[in-house]
Structure 1
Amino acid sequence: MNLEHLLSELSQATVHGRTDLDIAGLSYDSRKVEPGYLFVAIRGAHVDGHDYIPQALERGAVAVVAEAGRRLDLPVPLIQVPDPHAALADLAAAFYGHPARELLVVGVTGTDGKTTTCFFTSSVLEAAGYTTALFGTVDFKI
């Protein structure tokens, strides 16, 4: 997937460097980066992904997404965004062809009978040839 195409999914991004690169995959874990990957540095409660940018580059990352406002001098394109978590979600959706757009979602609300209605609906849809998943407080099925 082309980096420029991926970046078109981000509404607020500052790009430093070229965007005519092919991206082989995405990762926010530097240990899982492979050659050609886009590394997304995410600051967590205990670990800051920005500290692992050098390791991601060593493993073959060809571009980095980082939090806006960080002063980083990198040998690869740098994409700075306000929220790397949100950017990762948008980039992953684009990279994998927006699979959620193909989902049919049925929601059931009410006071009584929700679980029964959900299982009934799931059974009917499966009998019609659909693949279903069911998430509830009593049970879940994928």
Structure 2
Amino acid sequence: MKALLQRVREASVTVDGAVTGQIGPGLLVLLCAEPQDTEAVADRLLAKILKLRIFSDAAGKMNRSVQDLDGASTAGGLLLVSQFTLAADCSGGNRPSFTGAAPAALGQALYDYTVAQARKLHPEVATGIFAADMQVALVNDGPVTIWLEMA
């Protein structure tokens, strides 16, 4: 699985003019499943996302995770958005190929599984809608943007 994490001051997802998910300070996570991915891979990726120390401590060093900041006024939300385009292969020309993304049924199953697991492990989880035409708005904090891949 692939994930693009962005530390945000706020983020939201809108579908057909309605907000489907929004958070204040925390992490916007764009998720992409690949054909070989399993629930075990999703578990490892989620564990890394929740423990990654990319929030500032009192000394201004990136030393706190989104979980360390639960309930704090400075961070804590998790917005999970499916994004198959993270699997884009642009090596063959000017039009990306998305054959590296999981088939829709597997992609949705792994996205839904990841969301369910995140809700068990973290108190504030919001989402987009799988396969919808989504508009994502964010205020990047830092900016801090991290690319993760798990196999």
Do they superpose with TM above 0.5? no
Q: TM-score, normalised by structure 1?
A: 0.34
Higher fraction of strand: 2
Higher fraction of helix: 1
Q: Based on CA coordinates, which of the two structures has the bigger radius of gyration? A: 1
